[in-house]
Amino acid sequence: MLLVLCAVTGATAQERFSRHIDSHTFVPEGQWVTGVSVSYSQSDNNNYQFFIVEGIDGDTYSFSVTPMVFYMFKDDLGAGGRLGYERSRVKLDDANLIIDSESNYRNENFYCISQKYSAMGAFRNYFSIGDSKRFGLFNEVRLEFGVGESKLTNGTGNDFTGTFEKTYDIGVGVMPGLVMFLSNYSALELSVGVLGFNYSHTKQTNDQIHIANRDTKNANFRINLFSISVGVAFYL
């Protein structure tokens, strides 16, 4: 009798445990997901003051566009990729760095322009929120390769200097997000970076004479508010 009781107890312990969390298909197999994220910012400064920097005259702008495409090879599971382009410019005609009454540093004719191309392979998993067909969550894993270049000049005449940089980077990241359907085929998406690793190599040439190299590695294991992305997606 004792052996039979132990066998029954062991069988009971191995029963499947259910948390009673219902999951419904949010994006069905066979659908194509396409979309694009675009951002643009611009500022103009005329005799602007920022803490210890006074008399700031200049303008800046930044622009980025990232189209994407995914194919749902299984319910709520998709694979695809993204292409990215970023461009930014800083033009500073004049600025005074004032530390105290006897320390005053002036910077004139500073100019910096940079651009970057990137390609990403990605895997995306969707999750429904209860029985809702309009709101859902997704988790996206990305592998990114990027190439960028930037040019920086400063001063005039005999004081003119110039620097050119070429950068290559590779990164892995996790981007969870929220989907809100506006219709049966279009949706707004909001995502934010929470985990990632990035490695970059930069080659710098200063005044076409001096050459330097820089390697950078960083890991992010927290919510990165600077990587928030908002875009429009179409589910075909």
DSSP labels, 38-83: EEEEEEEEEEEEETTEEEEEEEEEEEEEEEEEEEEEETTEEEEEEE
Question: Taken in order 9, 13, 19, 25, is the CA torsion positive or negative?
Answer: negative
The Cα–Cα gap between 175 and 195 comes to 7
Cα distances (Å, whole numbers) of residue 223 to 36, 92, 144, 197: 22, 32, 19, 13
Average confidence (pLDDT) over 66-89: 90
Owner of token pair 């940079």: 114
- What tokens were used for 142? 């990305």
40-75 pLDDT, tens digit per residue, is 777 776 766 665 666 666 778 888 888 889 999 998
Choose among 163, 168, 138: nearest CA to 231.
Answer: 138
* Residue 95: how many other CB atoms lie within 10 Å: 20
- What tokens were used for 121? 């392979």
Cα distances (Å, whole numbers) of residue 225 to 63, 83, 87, 193, 235: 18, 22, 20, 8, 27
122-177 pLDDT, tens digit per residue, is 999 988 887 778 888 888 898 999 999 988 887 777 777 888 889 999 998 888 88
pLDDT band at 183 (very low <50, low <70, confident <90, very high): confident
Owner of token pair 């659908």: 31
Which has more pLDDT, 9 or 132? 132
The Cα–Cα gap between 67 and 37 comes to 6
Choose among 216, 44, 4, 26: nearest CA to 130.
Answer: 26
Give CATH for domain 21-235: 2.40.160
User: What's the mean per-residue pLDDT of the chain?
Assistant: 78
Which has more pLDDT, 94 or 203? 203
What pLDDT is attached to residue 8? 39
Task: Give the strand pairing for 135-154 and 186-193.
Answer: unpaired
Choose among 146, 148, 197: nearest CA to 171.
Answer: 197
What pLDDT is attached to residue 226? 59
Beta bridge partners of 40: 63
Helix ranges (H only) for the chain are 2-13
Give 4's DSSP letter. Answer: H
Which residues lie below 8 Å from residue 213, measured CB to CB, with a gap of 6+?
201, 202, 203, 204
Per-residue pLDDT at 97 exceeds 60: yes
Amino acid at position 120, single letter: M
